[in-house]
Chains A and B, each alone.
Chain A
């Protein structure tokens, strides 16, 4: 791996492809993966050295495929790992944590991490235009970071995306192309476009590099737990990449001696209306059957998940499981997380919380064990799913007597329960 410390290799046949914008092995059509020279950083990449660096994802640069002397333009990552006692009480556990990428910068989802790595390589490979197919969060992340780094951006989305995710792409000056079709159709079209144009498609020809950015979720969880691994982790699954990359991250930390080796069980979360991976897990299949998505969890609505095969392997090899929740269950879970922990997540986060609830009730996650839920996106982007959940209050006149009357009617109780008037 001359000069880089990493290179692309075929996952299936092992052929080396060096470093170039390419995601598929021409010989066997299998996906390419970034391989590192761990021996080169073993012993020099230490906990102390990492702790001395700025609190963002670039502190793990040695385990990211970055160009030499790369200088980041945004402090991405290092989102809070929150303990969740009040949600834990509702789920019946005292050892629950939330990895809260709902507050990730700059666009409030974990996709900012992957795009940051992809654009570092886009510049390295000489692209002036970057592009993606997206269910929304990736669109926002590519558009914002393209603006920040001076790239032209072309963003391809299914036409029925949430309005906030559409405006949250256009505002950055990106070229937004709405496709009358599902995400899977958008994705297939982008594979064809990438075949013909010299653009840096973050999730097509830059995908091996892009996907490595997801590992930083895993690195941070381990560091924030005091350099130890959790017993269980619950991860939402769309294309299925994130769950495999967190596993890779934990494995790398063990490989480099940064954490004690420990088995971690990986649990996948999907919406029932788009559940090709959880369906395969429950049926004991090693391959997915594609589905036509029908769910409000649009960020997870990928019926033919590219990494489905590897997600299934990750889950089954670690003794985990996958579950899925209905649209009404996921919306209730958004509300539950907000009411118990003050974290407002989007539909994918509702899927994760709802799935965790099921896994505890099924006894698949032991309440005494340390469990982390990955909250990957922000609720302000999908407020439409809460339409009708809350009443629009009738305004009252700005008078204290009116408020007292209002409080009485609102609480539906007598004066004795209303806080007493204070004499001054």
Chain B
């Protein structure tokens, strides 16, 4: 089973310019482990010091927000396309 992950421009400097990777992760946890292994510099940009996914990082699977699919518990299907997209906010509080 293969899924593809699209890396946004902002993060490609941590992936040696690679725009798209394929991997066999079964869920989000495994996907992050795979990314950690392949691109150690990427880790702090995707997760905070406590290991939580950064608040302003949205993850989509085939155009759907992964939170609607069960988030961490979603089991990737063969051919899933994963997008990492920063949430565009600018508020001050």
Contact = CB atoms under 8 A, between A and B. Distances in A.
Contacts, number: 108
Nearest to B54: A29
A290 B9 contact: no
Contacts of B46: 29
Nearest to A312: B93
Contacts of B58: 188, 304
A195 B9 contact: yes
A245 interface: yes
B92 A29 contact: no
Contacts of B13: 26
Given A11-B92, A310-B89, A195 B65 contact: no
A406 B65 CA distance: 58
A31 B57 CA distance: 11
B35 interface: no
Given A188-B63, A290-B67, A314-B93, A306 B45 contact: no
Interface stretch (A143-151, A169-177, A200-208, A356-364): A200-208
A241 B65 contact: no
Nearest to A311: B91
Given A30-B56, A185-B63, A289-B67, A245 B9 contact: no
Interface in A288-344: 289-290, 292, 304, 306-307, 309-311, 313-314, 317
Contact of A310 (B9, B45, B92): B92
A306 B58 CA distance: 10
B50 interface: no
B88 A306 contact: yes
A85 to B, nearest CB: 33
A244 interface: yes
A304 B65 contact: yes
A355 interface: no
Interface residues of A, number: 46
Contacts of A371: none
A345 interface: no
A379 to B, nearest CB: 28
Interface string B1-14: 00000001111010
Given A30-B56, A287-B55, A192 B83 contact: yes
Interface string B55-72: 111101001010110000
A181 B64 CA distance: 11
A33 B92 contact: yes
B85 interface: yes
Given A188-B60, A188-B85, A289-B67, A26 B92 contact: no
Interface string A199-242: 00001100110110000000000000000000000000001110
B91 A241 contact: yes
Interface of B: 8-11, 13, 44-46, 48, 54-58, 60, 63, 65, 67-68, 83, 85-93
Interface of A: 11, 23-24, 26-33, 181, 184-185, 187-188, 191-192, 195-196, 203-204, 207-208, 210-211, 239-241, 244-245, 247-248, 287, 289-290, 292, 304, 306-307, 309-311, 313-314, 317
Given A192-B8, A306-B90, 9 more contacts: A24-B10, A26-B10, A26-B45, A32-B90, A191-B88, A207-B90, A241-B89, A247-B93, A309-B89
